[in-house]
Structure 1
């Protein structure tokens, strides 16, 4: 990739796990009743056909990883586990009462924080409590994020017995200097152990999360990490760009200096050379930052045009309803978004008053729904079309004019009423989506609120 293209398009931009993006939610016109009404509508439309998804946020971490942008609570007090599990189950009870029909669960994802901060017994209590009030879809996908330093074989076995078949391990980088800078020291042997245990137990899909652009990280570090990863042969990989947003996360990303972080063409070379190596090893690019072997369900979903993207990232199947449980969790029922209280005490207080603990959200307009579909198409299939009248919007001519320069740069092709992102354009998918982002164009931020796109 040319340095000139990187310099030209390396601007702050959303990662598009939703549209509208969270900074553009119309919170002032949203209330909990809007969320409940839209949720019941979407649930009635989809429960029997495709089921629902649950994202459960387990926020506790024993130490702070300074590269992390997730909402977490750093503590070593494991006595916090039980009251939190009880609160999440009460929140689920409130949703079950609202829906007034037994949910069919298609997906569960345990994220964090560190889900494996919790004991085996508490995770069993949580999942058994959830499933006691629901049916499980035949082709369900239950997954969780495991920390290689504290995930035990007992964790893996217990969750497998409860229907989990996919696990993701955070690796980041194997260079000790990089690990120390991000406060995430974990030997290769720990990752090797949990990967082998998961494979022995029978997990269908094992994923490793790698990150490029970390402080002090060199090209040799990235390639070495990929070599070590290849030896374990995970079924899928996330190869994320480190999002340096210290203005949002404060001291959480101030364990190093700004000049310690690779930038621009230096950072992009880490990705380009890393991607090249992954492709040589049989991994296929399936959406932004994600790679999978051919046998993995994510690759099959991508080939069939069924890949989906939401606040959990890429998923192999789509559900209209995603309910977020736990502090800071985001829910999505296609017609509206909601986010739970971020503060643990506020979350508990709302539940004690028998209230679903949503504190903000957004109701999607008819225009939002059209733009959302275009951005989903681009992020999941690298193409979109407005030939169908349902996906036409009046500003499409303006969008195409903005994309003309990208087409001249070889990043995309527009033929008739269809847009296709080229191989060269895939790293710029966020920039291409931004051309469709009408809310962003109408109100350009006065300060930087997004990470850089490249």
Structure 2
């Protein structure tokens, strides 16, 4: 990748887990009743044919990782577990009250925070409480995020017994210097232990999350981390770019200096070296920032053009409806988005008033829906097509012309295809389709850098 292209396209940009992106939601026009209407419409259309997905946010962590951009609450007090999970079940009940039939549950993902902060018994009670009110889809997939330092074999076994077959472990980097900087100390032995346990128990997809661009991270660190990762043979990998956004994340990302963080060409080289190592060890690049071996469902979905992307990231199966439960969670009906309140006390109060605890959102216009489809196509299949009736396309194509000249894309009549050289700039290509971003360019930096 040329230095000139990196310098040219390394600008702030969204990661496109949704369109419109959260900063461009029309929150002032969002109404609770419109959200419920959107929910009912989507549920009636998709429950019988696809089922629904559930994302459950479990926000508690015992210590703060300074690289993390998730909504979390730091505590060592485990008495917070039961009241929180009771509240999540109450929220689920409120959604169920709006359904005219039993939900068919296709996906459940436990995210955080640290899901394995919670005791086995409490997690079991939560999941049984959800499942007793719904029907498991025949092809269901349940997954969770595990912290290598506190995931026990009992956690893995109980969740397996409840139907979980996919787990991802946050690794980030094995360098002690990097781990100290991001306040995430976890020896390789801890990761190896939980990975072997998961495989022994029978999990069919074990994933590791790695990050490039962390403070003090070097090429030697990337090579060492991927060599160690290779020895454990996870089925899939997320190899994310560190999103340095201290103006959003607060003091957590101010524990090191700007000059400690790799940037531009230096940062991109970390990715290119890591990607080459992964490729030489049988990992295929899937969409953006993801890799999988031949036998993993994510790779198979990419080959069959069935890859999907939402607020949970990439998935091998699609559901139109995704309900986010828990503080700060985001729900998606395809026609609208809604985010829960971020403050725990507010969350509890709204549920006590028997109100689904959303506080902002966006109902998509017809134009939004079409642009959303284009961006989803690009993110999942690296190509998209359009109709002649889409009268905003000349505006988009004019911006794409320079990217075509740079060899990032190929345009033929009503079709765009991302080239191999263009894949590292996928976020930039999607930005050309982002009409809301173009029509209202931010005056301050809202997003992390694209490269």
TM-score, scaled to structure 2? 0.99
2:48 equivalent in structure 1: 48
1:238 equivalent in structure 2: 238
Q: CA deviation at 1:395?
A: 1.3
- Which of 428, 431, 436 is the matching residue for 2:428? 431
2-structure distance, mates of 1:404, 1:373: 21
Q: CA deviation at 1:35?
A: 1.0
- Which of 443, 446, 449 is the matching residue for 2:443? 446
1:18 equivalent in structure 2: 18
1:369 equivalent in structure 2: 369
Q: CA deviation at 1:258?
A: 0.7
Q: Residues 61-97 of structure 1, C-alpha deviation per residue, up to 9 Å, x if partnerless? A: 0000000000000000100000001000000011111
1:418 equivalent in structure 2: 415
2:392 equivalent in structure 1: 395
2:284 equivalent in structure 1: 284
2:141 equivalent in structure 1: 141
2-structure distance, mates of 1:73, 1:250: 13
Aligned length: 451
2:404 equivalent in structure 1: 407
Q: Residues 171-227 of structure 1, C-alpha deviation per residue, up to 9 Å, x if partnerless? A: 000000000000000000000000000000000100000000000000000011000
Q: CA deviation at 1:100?
A: 2.8
Q: Residues 265-306 of structure 1, C-alpha deviation per residue, up to 9 Å, x if partnerless? A: 000000011101110001000100000001100000011111
Q: CA deviation at 1:252?
A: 0.7
Q: Residues 36-84 of structure 1, C-alpha deviation per residue, up to 9 Å, x if partnerless? A: 1111110000101000000000000000000000000000010000000
Q: Residues 423-443 of structure 1, C-alpha deviation per residue, up to 9 Å, x if partnerless? A: 110010000000000000000
Q: CA deviation at 1:255?
A: 1.1
2:214 equivalent in structure 1: 214
1-structure distance, mates of 2:294, 2:33: 44
1:67 equivalent in structure 2: 67
1:195 equivalent in structure 2: 195
2:299 equivalent in structure 1: 299
1-structure distance, mates of 2:115, 2:73: 12
1:323 equivalent in structure 2: 323
Q: Residues 331-388 of structure 1, C-alpha deviation per residue, up to 9 Å, x if partnerless? A: 000000000010000000000011110111000000000000000000000000014x
Unaligned runs of 5+ in 2: none
2-structure distance, mates of 1:55, 1:220: 36
Unaligned runs of 5+ in 1: none
C-alpha RMSD of the superposition: 0.6
2-structure distance, mates of 1:359, 1:63: 28
1:353 equivalent in structure 2: 353
Q: Residues 137-179 of structure 1, C-alpha deviation per residue, up to 9 Å, x if partnerless? A: 0001100000000000000001000000000000000000000
1:261 equivalent in structure 2: 261
2-structure distance, mates of 1:86, 1:63: 24
List structure 1 runs of 4+ shifted beyond 4 angstroms: none
2-structure distance, mates of 1:250, 1:27: 23
Give the SS at the match of 1:207: strand
